[in-house]
Amino acid sequence: MQKLLFVCLTALLSATATASTRDAITAQADVPGATLRITIRESIDNRRVNELVEWLRAAATSVSAVSGRFPNPSPHIVVLPVRRHSRGGDSPVPFGRVTRNGEERIELYVNLDRPIEDYYGNWTATHEFSHLLLPHIGDRHKWISEGFASYYQNVLMARAGNYSQAEAWRYLYEGLERGRGSRPDLSLNEAAAAGIGQARMKIYWGGAAIALLADVTLRDRSNGAKSLDTVLGQLQQCCLPAKASWTGPRLFRKLDSLLEEPLFMGLYRQYATRPGFPDYQGIFNRLGVEIEADIVRLRDDAELAMIRDAITGALAR
């Protein structure tokens, strides 16, 4: 029954997209280092078009701030309008994906029944744009691409002012908790091999834990001079956009080559092939993030409070 429902829903969405192609609207939006080529697969009024374009510009600009420019100079953004109770229920942006088949293309399904203000509080576009910060990573190491995007969806939403700092750390913590409870019998590589259907939370949030550990470690040992942002900016300068798919070890070896002191392959060897989940709780304590019963307290006297604020707060913006 679930398979039949998925097939029918996919066919419905495809038919909707095909039928609306005749009335597609094209637009452009400039962000640092790039021009977004936008296609809206439905004829809608100019006010709504302008709202969508400005929302996409804002989401892409937040990703541009990681390194100073967007990682692809001319990405294709395809907006597929759906209605309430379509795929993803009532979410303002119920689904998104990145395809890399001759070009980097981001597809975003948007719920036109929701006001534009709701789009800014939704992380989907930020998550999908964040995928472009890395080359395509093959399915064997999918936890890296999905995990880094999951980390940045929270970090960048806070930097843009769409989340408060407390909200960003709570959402990140809740995601990491879901990941920790998912398939503790599997390593990250084994979770990727099992696939999204069997180990979704482990894949998305195990990789996010690695991104968090790497970011905090880089900032701590360099007294703020280095970060995950800076090393991904160096990767962008040398290697993006990338036409070929990379493996996880190839990516991590490349990131280590951009550092004076290696980090990423050490994390890979520690966590990628062993069951369990990366230890993020100690990092939260050092950052001064205390969460109990959905109440978030950010302690200014914590050892790494300045790093916490550099990641998600005014210093980052």
22-26, 285-289, 298-302 — which is least confidently predicted? 22-26
Average pLDDT rounded to a whole number, residues 267-294: 95
User: How confident is the model over 160-164, as a mean pLDDT?
Assistant: 96
Binning pLDDT at 50, 70 and 90, where does residue 101 land? Answer: confident
Predicted confidence at residue 19, as pLDDT, reads: 33
Closest CA to 71 of 311, 226, 242, 215: 242
Strand duo 25-31 + 34-40: pairing: antiparallel
Query: Mean pLDDT over residues 165-170, rounded?
Result: 97
In the sheet where 25-31 sits, what is the strand order? 25-31, 34-40, 76-82, 104-111, 95-100
Q: Kindly report the average pLDDT of the chain as a whole number.
A: 91
Has residue 266 got a pLDDT over 90?
Answer: yes
Question: Could you give the CA distance from residue 269 to residue 250 in angstroms, rounded to a whole number?
Answer: 13
Percent of the chain with pLDDT over 90: 86
CB 54 within 8 A of CB 36: no
Write down the residue that tokens 């379509």 correspond to.
86
Predicted confidence (pLDDT) per residue in 210-220, tens digit:
999 999 999 99
pLDDT (0 to 100) of residue 251: 98
Residue 12 has pLDDT above 70, yes or no: no
Q: What is the mean pLDDT of residues 290-308?
A: 95
The pLDDT value recorded for residue 84 is: 62
What's the pLDDT tens digit per position in 34-83? 999 999 999 899 999 999 999 999 999 999 999 999 999 999 999 999 87
Q: Which two tokens stand for residue 215?
A: 């970011």
pLDDT of 280 reads: 96
